Amino acid sequence: MTSENVIEAENVEPSEPKPSRPVDDRLIDESVARAQAEGLQLTGEGGLLQHLTKRLLESALEGEITDHLGYDKHDPAGKNGGNSRNGTRGKTALNAFDITFDGRLSAARQ
């Protein structure tokens, strides 16, 4: 290695750190393998995708309400604050994957 190479290496700015991946591929692979081993369907009613979607949405909504209110669930800071969590109830979101859509362009204001 020459001194030129050392100088060039020292002048190189470090690259920005890569953002973390939003999904851990290993965790997904393990979940799919476990579901298949237990005979759980991957899609459809009661399948792995339905369970994962439910948990993901619930977690995201819980985080959103925590952000909005400014305190965690069961935190005494929110007691009698006037803007509090009013409880939850079961909800069912319907979805279908076999949807056909015949889109067409239309002129503005038609």
DSSP assignment of 30-71, as one string? HHHHHHHHTT--SSSTT-HHHHHHHHHHHHHHHHHHHHHHTS
Domain span at 65: 46-73
Give a yes or no: residue 65 inside a domain: yes
- Residues of the chain falling short of pLDDT 50: none
Torsion of CA 32, 35, 38, 40, to 10 degrees: -130
Q: What is the pLDDT at residue 21?
A: 76
Residue 95: count other Cβ atoms within 10 Å of its Cβ. 8
CA–CA distance, 66 with 74 (Å, rounded to integer)? 11
In a domain, 67, yes or no: yes
Total domain count, the chain: 1
Residue 39 contacts residue 48 (beta carbons within 8 Å):
no
Q: 78: Cβ–Cβ under 8 A, 6 or more apart, which residues?
A: 69, 71, 84, 85
